[in-house]
Structure 1
């Protein structure tokens, strides 16, 4: 089946949140507490947040879909860290059945192209330190660790990665 990547719209909010929750339950198993993951559900509050964030442009989103069904997304925008310039990839998640299919690379490439078109020169992201799969993916896309560290929710170590945006997409991103 062929998938397409397109800009997200407010009507994608519930599908985006469903992908996020489903992905977390698999990707973060063994990294985050099982009771936290097992308790995750799609809520009206989060769907409303996505609807507003996408609708107002507060967050840019690219979605990957197959036969009209959203199977993954990438969200991005201005850096949320005052001391880190440029743009930031906020999240990139796929349904577990789409892991390692190339869909994530296509989403990342589209997001990076959009950021380049907006004149951004660099982009960063935060990733849970123990998320080896995601770290390998980001490194294949050309991101490099910066040495910055943080604690997500004051308890889980995360590390920062950075990528200089050039005119050409990184080799691993497509």
Structure 2
């Protein structure tokens, strides 16, 4: 049985492990391998702790926990970070599932919890960014009712520009 609850400081190492292995699994062949190889759980734990402390207000972190109490997924959302946007627009900043459990419904359960919390926070619209070449994630969000809205951006990873597309969904 899976449950979704608010993330706590104790969850940071498990979330970091999921995030790093999630990046390395999902983005292999999309991001430079040198960038993925440099990622470590230890470095991410330090970064995640700082982020968790700074984001207590305005950001919601949720974890999916299995029947044995292990964190198996993580999602993070808050106000959309774009310029001049309405306060009713939320953004899914991250959603990761332990790679060996992808396809088991954990991601869908986390996303539904995000939508529920976001609606309670008076967000009427959720936005998110997905790497253009991450077809698995794009299909996941499309099945959940998200549509690409035409916005694109690019980020640099070890000197390689990687494009992202924005998706949106009304709540």
Same fold, judged at TM 0.5 (above): yes
Unaligned runs of 5+ in 1: 166-174
* Count of residues in correspondence between the two structures: 163
1:159 aligned to 157, 162, 165, which one? 165
Q: Per-residue displacement from partner, 1:37-73 (whole Å, max 9, x unpaired)?
A: 111102153132243145x234211101111111111
Q: More deviation in 11-20 or 70-79?
A: 11-20
Q: Does 1:149 align with 2:148?
A: no
The alignment's TM-score, normalised by the length of structure 2, stands at 0.90
Distance 1:6 1:131 in 2: 27
Partner of 1:9: 8
1:62-93: CA deviation from partner (whole Å, max 9, x where unpaired): 10111111111110000111144410000000
Alpha-carbon contact 2:92-2:127 (below 8 Å) kept: yes
1:172 matched residue in structure 2: none
Which runs of 4 or more aligned residues in structure 1 lie more than 6 Å from their structure 2 counterparts after TM superposition?
none
Contact 2:76–2:92 (CA<8 Å) still a contact in 1? Answer: yes
Aligned-residue Cα RMSD (Å) equals 1.5
Give the alignment's TM-score, normalised by structure 1. Answer: 0.88
Q: What is the CA deviation profile of residues 93-122 of structure 1, one whole-angstrom value per residue up to 9, with x for unaligned ones?
A: 011111011100000000000011111110
- Residues 17 and 50, structure 1, Cα contact 8 Å, conserved in 2: no
